[in-house]
Structure 1
């Protein structure tokens, strides 16, 4: 019997399709991506129109393009920064969720569920309470520090290269609970900082400012480019380390780059609008039903549909509680919780 193990011949996702079928599937995916962009544009326009002062879609469009329009000030000073922040933060969280689920091979991986957002929150709350930092420029570096530290700690506690989905989920749940307990304790002990922290910690787009958009854009752009560049290496890594090396990928470098991408995306999004959960969980699952497991399609779809879901939740929060509003972080929890339970139940039924 030979003691030499034959190299894996398993192909990357989508490589075993016949050319005709592959071409038809590629056309379908491309058409779906164009439709997703159209949906995102429609939701963004709706975000410009809906608010305390209701505008028609035509009025919102004119206010966006015509500096002499009656509603130009309302659209540009109040609605546009909020919409742009929702686009950036949604894309960041959707891509971070897709990268995390592929890296950990855990279908319920999410920056919120596994504690990445909680790490950023704990660091920012500490900066607010103990160091008196109150600007986005200060928040963002602490958010990066917290999210990066928790990402590395999660990977180590979950078992490193031998991590399993169950171990990562348990480690993430433990870190999430511990960090949010710390956040709430700091809020109770430091009542002077409570007003500054309470809207931020629930997750909100209401305080978006043009300056925040300018500052967060470079970090999210770098994270988006890095995440999209990781699609092929993560596809290879999904087949195992030996197969990934045989295909020319470097598993260690892929894991390190993935952690950097998640840190950039989650840190910037959390610093800008607080911890918002379930966006990174829901969108990749919805996308895979359309694209299959190939990350070359999953990640672009997630980058488009996640901000559409984010802005949709924000618009819903403005509508259901008029003249007040429900923060987007609360809306995503209310809508994402049942979906999470449904996913867990479906996996249990499939395993039984």
Structure 2
């Protein structure tokens, strides 16, 4: 079978429902991606305001000596930053893949559909009214804000005549994002917490700490496992809701579970890095192009490619104008905005 067509099951008419996948390409991405990620990790830990030799990096990881300043820089600053970037990249990419698969909306992304802005707005409220709130609670409020943002975007988009379309959904997301961002900035000015929120607006992993990783790690791992368990059902939904129902799927339950996973992934990411958009838009499209439409391959490959994108983008952000850092969100947006415009134009031609 040259197109790698695989049958999911039989529909109501007795004919198999097929979809294309490329297991060989997915295997290559998973194995090659892991090696590339390891390389990226060593590069990311080595380069920065103070360049550190590979041998010192190796010693700091496996033979840590707290008396050596370079070892402290690696252990306390660069390693949590690196691991945070990898987890955030995987989270945003998988969240985008699930959203695109469930809604069949090629423009779906947590940043474009209001999740990031909703989470950021609630975090601004937390900084203003509950200063010193433990990070565990910040993540929970971030989940809540992401859910509120997504609900408002879908509600606003549904009010338009003719119902939801991908472009209307993104327009609603853009309008709500602008509103919530303005409100967040107003809160920051009034309560004089602009410095605390500055890194949320720019987006970046520079301030990531070990305790943040300890809190977000179980949430993200659980959500990624849940995404893999749901991957077959998402593949069916991506073929159309009627097809999924014909194959015996309880589509409402699948969508609810998928949305919970998306909120956990996007909320965790925003709580750590702030407003980094377009990762969940770019990576799933690239992954589908490479491995086909089977989400059992798309989800793990998106996690690897998303991690690679954020880790190498963060490395580039440090190398563009040393010793100063370019905001990570701005750097990824340089790729994401043209890609979004291309998809929006393509979607408009197909309407």
State TM-score, norm by structure 2.
0.88
Instruction: Describe how 1:170-249 pairs up with structure 2 within 5 A.
Output: 170-191=171-192, 193-249=193-249
CA contact (8 A) 2:26 2:290 kept: yes
Question: Hey, what does 2:256 align to over in structure 1?
Answer: 256
Question: Hey, what does 1:151 align to over in structure 2?
Answer: 150
C-alpha distance in 2 between matches for 1:301 and 1:153 = 30
Instruction: Describe how 1:271-290 pairs up with structure 2 within 5 A.
Output: 271-290=271-290
Question: Hey, what does 1:90 align to over in structure 2?
Answer: 89
Give per-residue Cα distances to partners, 1:212-259, cap 9 Å, x unaligned.
Answer: 110111111121111222211111112233321222211000110111
Give per-residue Cα distances to partners, 1:19-70, cap 9 Å, x unaligned.
Answer: xxx7xx3233212321121111111111111111102334323332222595
- 1:46 aligns to 2:43 (yes or no): yes
RMSD: 2.3
Instruction: Rate the CA distance shift 1:10–1:239 in 2: closer, same or farther, 3 A.
Output: farther
Give per-residue Cα distances to partners, 1:98-134, cap 9 Å, x unaligned.
Answer: 0111112111111111111000001000111123245
Provide the secondary structure at the position in 1 that maps to 2:110: coil
C-alpha distance in 2 between matches for 1:197 and 1:247 = 47
| Per-residue deviation, 1:311 | 1.0
Question: Hey, what does 1:122 align to over in structure 2?
Answer: 121
C-alpha distance in 1 between matches for 2:245 and 2:194 = 50
Q: Which moved more, 1:26-35 or 1:288-297?
A: 26-35
C-alpha distance in 1 between matches for 2:58 and 2:214 = 23
CA contact (8 A) 1:201 1:274 kept: yes
| Per-residue deviation, 1:346 | 4.4
CA contact (8 A) 1:91 1:306 kept: yes
Question: Hey, what does 1:13 align to over in structure 2?
Answer: 19
| Per-residue deviation, 1:172 | 1.7
- 1:333 aligns to 2:333 (yes or no): yes
Unpaired runs of 5+ residues, structure 1, are: 1-5, 15-21
Give per-residue Cα distances to partners, 1:72-95, cap 9 Å, x unaligned.
Answer: 322212210101111111111010
CA contact (8 A) 2:119 2:145 kept: yes
CA contact (8 A) 1:9 1:243 kept: no
CA contact (8 A) 1:151 1:259 kept: no
Aligned length: 336
| Per-residue deviation, 1:207 | 1.0
Q: Which moved more, 1:81-90 or 1:173-182?
A: 173-182
State TM-score, norm by structure 1.
0.88
Instruction: Rate the CA distance shift 1:149–1:130 in 2: closer, same or farther, 3 A.
Output: same
